[in-house]
Structure 1
Amino acid sequence: MARIIGKYLKGVLGDSVLKTYGNMQIIQARPVKGKSRRAEGSDKSSSLFGIASNIACEFRTGVSKLVTAFYDGTMIFRLNTEVAHALRYANNPETGSFNLVADSFSRLEGFDFNAKSPLVNTLVSLPQVEIGEHSLTVSLPALEIPKNLKFPKDTKFCRMLIGRSLTDLTNQKRKIDFVSFEIENKKGTTIPQSWEFETQAGCVCILVVSLQFIQSSLAGEAVVNSKTFNPAAILKAVVLKGQVDKTQTKGWSGTMTKKILLG
């Protein structure tokens, strides 16, 4: 309904909206109610980020024993964002499915769980990773102490943890294995080492390396890691070739991931 105010009309008249601007009469088309394309795009983006957050949560849970609670305050959002970017490239908007290939999550490689203490600043010589048909081999070269592994002041030794999680996104299953060993804070060179982990076709494999530094006191030994110092990072993130065999993963731990359409 339009009203006459002074010498101008204001309000709605038919399909028009009447306004004033200074000493001018303005007539605009009446907006049409309904969902805009922008709103639809926003809904799809929101849905994708929700899926990514759910999967990122699974990845975090799978390696939580290695990372501990000393991640920085932005870690969850940073990881969610990286997984969302990865899924966006793999997403088929017409079918809603995700076509995951070997390097779909490769952007996670080098991801630090604590941005205040990047792993490479402490462990200068990183392990090498080789993926075979049914296994993954991690090789740690000889480390020259303290050149290749830098110890915080007054720490006695470093406990290095290397582990991998396997996530079966199709059947919501997870398996994790890790090794732990200690390196003394003593000038010299360590012996090269290697470890082999089994893999499972079609699963997402996340390999993490973390360092825990131990300090001795009269009260015993204590971990010096904190919210400002916790070197831990993703070394490898790969989707293993092949199709998941449900009979091989049914005995694994269950996940909280929602079922997504792959292929």
Structure 2
Amino acid sequence: MGKIDKKGVIHGGVDNVSYRTYRGQQIVQMKAGKVKQTIATKESGLEFGLCASTARVIREAFHRTYKGGYDGPMINRFNSVVQSAVRACSTKARCQRNLHDADLSYLTGFQFNNNSPLDKVLKARPEAIMEEGTVAVYLPAFSQEDIKGKVGEYYIVRLLLVSFDFHKKVYRYLDCKEIKVDSKGFEGGRIGLEGHIPQGSVAILSMSVHAYVNDVFDGSRSLNSKEWSPSEIIGAWHMPASEEQEHLETKDLNANGFIVDVDIPFEITDPLKKLKELYKKKNRADQLKAALPKARWKVPEDDFQLPEGEISFK
């Protein structure tokens, strides 16, 4: 019900129109009507939910690489990247595919912080490759002066390798290598990432740069922040599955002290389960519609005559 105040301004709603004021101006809005979604539209929505929860798992696994901060749109950007990677799979239908079927090239080059993209911060570009089931990074020589945007007393270049199994709903920290860059710089070379990549998993490698200063009272202090915290996915690979999958205890530790399998701490969207419910409802509706008796209209064959005389408009 709409009301007019002492100033003659309308508040509230009338039919499907609502009135309100914003910064001294009268705003009129139409109420949104109910939109009937098709099965295809609902399938797309369910798959996006799967991609969004998948992206969240990866972000949380790599949060240590950009803990100084990330740009505001990062979450939506990464959701879109994961969705594009999954949609690139043409061999499986919607809601039946996930990151294990995706084109992982979409992930490579993703910046967790567009305020300080790694390819702009660090002059030297890494080359990440997988060699017979192990990951290696070839990094050219560079000095402190080649790191742009933040002046620190020294820097740490961190490589973090993580594997993901979205069937078992676990991820695993495989290895972390750190390169300290001070006044001597880095001479360049090959950095091997250890740790056995589980078969049937997706391995993702990130590279990040962290700036530090030495504080008299607090010791070493990080300078990374939302404005400067470069972190990039520099490699992503599918590890083929075999008939005999390995089973590891969640309490086991690898050589670096990482927990072997980390349970995903939240529910991942299961689009297949919800899709089955949608089709079940649709089939039930179709059956009810088919069971309804069809209306039969009898057209009079005779006694049809046009009215005679003048017909008033009233």
TM-score (norm. length: structure 1): 0.74
- Contact 2:199–2:245 (CA<8 Å) still a contact in 1? no
Where 2:210 maps in the other structure, the secondary structure is: strand
- The 1:125–1:103 alpha-carbon spacing in structure 2 relative to 1, beyond 3 Å, is farther
Contact kept, 8 Å, 2:126 with 2:139, in 1: the verdict is yes
CA distance in 2, matches of 1:174, 1:117: 27
Whose strand fraction is larger, Structure 1's or Structure 2's?
A: 1
Residues 63, 164 of structure 1: 8 Å contact kept? no
User: Residue 254 in 1 paired to residue 252 in 2?
Assistant: no
Runs of 5+ consecutive residues of structure 2 not aligned to the other structure: 1-33, 251-260, 273-314
User: 1:152-187 CA distances to partner (integer Å, 9 max, x unpaired)?
Assistant: 23x100011101110011111211131223111x26
CA distance in 1, matches of 2:243, 2:117: 34
Structure-1 residue corresponding to 2:199: 201
Pairing partner for 2:180 from 179, 182, 197: 182
Shift of the 178–250 alpha-carbon distance from structure 1 to 2, 3 Å rule, reads same
Deviation for aligned residue 1:120 = 0.9
The alignment status of 1:160 with 2:169, answered yes or no, reads no
Task: Write the letter of the residue equivalent to 1:107.
Answer: Y
Deviation at 1:113, TM superposition (A): 0.5
Distance 1:42 1:116, change over 3 A: same
SS in structure 1 at match of 2:47: helix
Tell me which amino acid in the other structure corresponds to 1:85. Answer: S
Amino acid at match of 1:75: M
Alignment match, 2:281: none
Counterpart Cα distance in 2 of 1:183 and 1:71: 23
| Counterpart position of 1:233 | 232
Q: 1:83 to 1:139 in 2, by over 3 A?
A: same
One-letter amino acid of the structure 1 residue matched with residue 120 of structure 2: N
Kindly state the Cα deviation for residue 74 of structure 1 after the two structures are TM-superposed.
1.0
The aligned counterpart of 1:104 is 103
Aligned length: 223
1:150 is aligned to 148
CA distance in 2, matches of 1:136, 1:259: 31
| Structure 1 equivalent of residue 208 of structure 2 | 210
Establish whether residue 52 from structure 1 lines up as the match of residue 55 from structure 2: no
1:93 aligns to 2:102 (yes or no)? no
State whether residues 203 and 244 of structure 1, in contact with CA within 8 Å, keep that contact through their aligned partners in structure 2: no
Deviations 1:224-248 (A, max 9, x none): 1111111101001222233485434
Determine the structure 2 residue equivalent to 1:115: 114
Distance 2:98 2:132 in 1: 21
Provide Cα deviations, 1:82-115, integer angstroms capped at 9, x if missing partner: 1111112226337x42276787121111111011
Residue 208 of structure 1: how far off its partner (Å): 0.3
- Residue type of the partner of 1:167? F
Larger radius of gyration: 2
Q: Residues of 2 paired with 1:89 and 1:191: CA distance?
A: 36
Q: Secondary structure at the match of 1:59?
A: helix
- Structure 2 length normalisation: TM-score? 0.63
State how far apart, in whole Å, the 2-side matches of 1:244 and 1:99 are.
20
| Cα distance in structure 1, aligned partners of 2:228 and 2:41 | 37
RMSD across aligned positions (CA): 2.7
Structure with larger RCO (C-alpha < 8 A, sep 6+): 1
Residues of 2 paired with 1:102 and 1:144: CA distance? 40
Contact 2:136 2:190 (8 Å CA) reproduced: no
Q: Say which SS state the counterpart of residue 152 (structure 1) adopts.
A: coil
Quick check: 2:50–2:270 contact (8 Å CA) kept in 1?
A: no
Which of 167, 172, 179 aligns to 1:170? It is: 167
Structure-2 separation of matches of 1:119 and 1:227: 14
In the superposition, relative to structure 1, how do residues 77 and 35 fare at CA in structure 2: closer, same or farther (>3 Å)? closer
Distance (whole Å) between structure 2 residues aligned to residue 75 and residue 118 of structure 1: 12
Match for residue 77 of structure 2?
Answer: 78
8 Å contact from structure 1 (residues 139, 193) kept in 2: yes
Give the drift of 1:210. 0.7
